[in-house]
Amino acid sequence: MASFLAAAQNEGICVEYSEAFFWTDSHSKIQRVADVIRRSTAMVIVAFTDTTELRLLLQELARDPPSPRQWIGSEGWITDPQLMSFSFCAGAIGVAIQQFLIPGLSDFLLDLSPTEVADSSVLTEFWEEAFN
């Protein structure tokens, strides 16, 4: 987010607010973020988040929908068609990293035992998706 804010400032783009929250935050924290969006005059929202967090935010916004906004999202949620079904989501455009190599990651993942994979919901989801 810091890199985005710096790049926006260098390009003369006005950023009205910047908020952070996690799916584990209290409901009141998510309500507060939704209220910031409702009160804002910004017509574009950039959301660097995953599907779980964005779903929580959109569900909270749906309780008292703001005017329609354009959304810019990361690959974490932009491909989920259900998230853009809310009336206040006028449209969305997404950004994704085309290719990113992490040295040693492939070897690490391939060397994991089934027990190690089963102990992690993230690794289990990855293995189910990658290896069917």
Report which of 40, 93, 33, 94 is spatially closest to residue 61, judged by C-alpha positions: 33
pLDDT for the residue numbered 11: 93
pLDDT in tens, 31-70: 999 999 999 999 999 998 888 999 999 999 999 999 999 9
Q: Is 37 helix (H, G, I), strand (E, B) or coil?
A: helix
pLDDT for the residue numbered 18: 93
Listing DSSP states for 44-63 in one string gives EEEE---HHHHHHHHHHHHT
Domains of the chain: 2-100 (3.40.50.2300), 102-132 (no CATH)
The conformation of residue 118, written as its DSSP 8-state character, comes to H
**Over residues 64-85, mean pLDDT:** 86
Neighbours of 85 (CB within 10 A): 9
pLDDT for the residue numbered 79: 80
pLDDT in tens, 10-38: 999 999 999 999 989 999 999 999 999 99
List the 89-95 sheet strands across, edge first.
Answer: 44-47, 69-74, 89-95
